[in-house]
Chains A and B, each alone.
Chain A
Amino acid sequence: MAILKQDVIDSMRDVMDPHMNVNLNDMGMIGGVTINADGDIEVGLVFPCIGCPAMDLIKDDAEKAVRKIAGARNVTVKADWGKKWDRTMLSQEARDNAKSHGYII
């Protein structure tokens, strides 16, 4: 069965930005997702901060999560500097979560 982009997004439901405690999808950090017929998957992550100290950790977590998808073969997760992150990309759920620990966004 072919892997869908939504499968990739869903796989990262529990991958969190550790400074916000919000998952990558709600953070609006999932950029381009490319899947080929062989099950090779490439994910671009859009980082809010150019010097994110958690960058390696987030990429590693994301890669582990995507690898769990049935049929996934080679998985590459990299920073996608071609897209710009801004706060309008945060979901309402992320805003509510952030508000509960002191951020008003």
Chain B
Amino acid sequence: MNPPLRRVGVVALVLFAMLFVNLNYRQVVKADDYRTNARNGRVQASEYERARGKIINAQGIAVADSQETGDTLKFLRTYPAKDKYAHVLGFKPVNLGATGLEKLNNDFLIGTSDKQAADRIAGLFTGKDPAGGNVLLTLSQATQEAAYTQLGNNKKGVKSGAVVALDPSTGAVLAEVSLPSYDPNLLTVHDGKSASAAYSKLDGDPAKPMLNRAVQEIYPPGSTFKVITSAAAMTADSSLTPDSTVQGGEFYTPPQVSDFRIKNAHEGICPDQITLKQALTVSCNTVFARMGVERIGAEKLKAMAQAFGFETQPRFIEDQEKNYCNVAASHTGPMTAGADNRVDPPAVAQSSIGQREVKMSPLQGAMIAATVANGGREMRPYIVDRLQNADLSNADRTDPKELGRPISGEVATALQQMMFSVVTSRDGTGRSANIAGLQVGGKTGTAEDGDDAGDHGWFIGFAMKDGKPIVSVAVFLENAGKGGSAEAARIAGLVMKAYADEKGIK
């Protein structure tokens, strides 16, 4: 029996050799794969060795914080404001990739950014662990709070919508809210299973709570687009002023077209002869449709929209490759028909009043209002005001940047007057946006969204004091139905008032 025993010894040797070879494969060949695998909690653990920097709003309140835990992962990412800042901040989970500002500023927050190289080198000598830096936002505590609360408590009972508020003179984002929102704290818990269950639930929710409707989605702008149509008309014809008389009427049918007509929202609001200012004040569709087709034309209308930023993805930072989320470009659509792509007058007529294929993001709406308030100078929007080292010294500061001047100062002033009238006239559609002590201008919009769904309610506007722009805002109520734009205007007024109060402007 000894020869087979020896052979069994060889068999054992072979089995162990197989184990050895396989362990070599796992621990040497695949080692780097496994070590850096996203599911390897150890990778995160090393990232969680140090406190991740805070994200702080303009009032110095931390809206993303790190709490010490005593676990293997030494710090827990928390969002004290819960749902209120969710879409802007994004979240930094243990098992999934970071999103939002957490992703954009990840290097700086964990302390490995190029901007912190000096800090790290100093750390080698002082022996101090390089800590993550803080990100300081432009977002205003009161404005964000008002936007979130007032949008959520809208009287139309609308569940989804967005608010964007900007400082017109700098482009600083003062508020950015998208509803429905979510609590990012559920996604950053250290229990991976519970975090991924929470993520799956949000991801599968038909209401799309993780979608940032303020910047990631575009919607038909409806009558708010008439600001651009007006700008294009006055730029094309310098003799046209807010007080010029233009042709209105109950219906408008473009020349050489028979089976098509544009009508107004209500009968009797739009006489045959009407001033341009009054046409905007009562939101006269026939005036702007006619101007689009007969005075401006598709090319100039599209060009004006592009000058305001349509067809371009808005960028929040200097680096043109990066954005804090997938920001959507607004667009006008081609306004053509047929295989030969000739200009289609009905399409131009509809596009002039913000229908057809025109789509705009709430951010773009706020940018249009801001540009008008800022005398025609459009500023690049930005959310990160400063990057602050762990020792509270400045690492970087965002300088406001002018994107361009889509309209002249004269046209801007004319548009301001017209938009003031929308809010202050007795028959203005945006009356509910008015704030005592400030000059408020704006434009409402009611946009058809298919046959069954209710119309979207829009308001884009601004507040000024002594000729200086204070704040601009866009409020969007998705499928709000009848009266949605008036409710949007009311919310916009409250948001702008919150900012003015916080600033002490009365």
Q: A and B from one assembly?
A: no
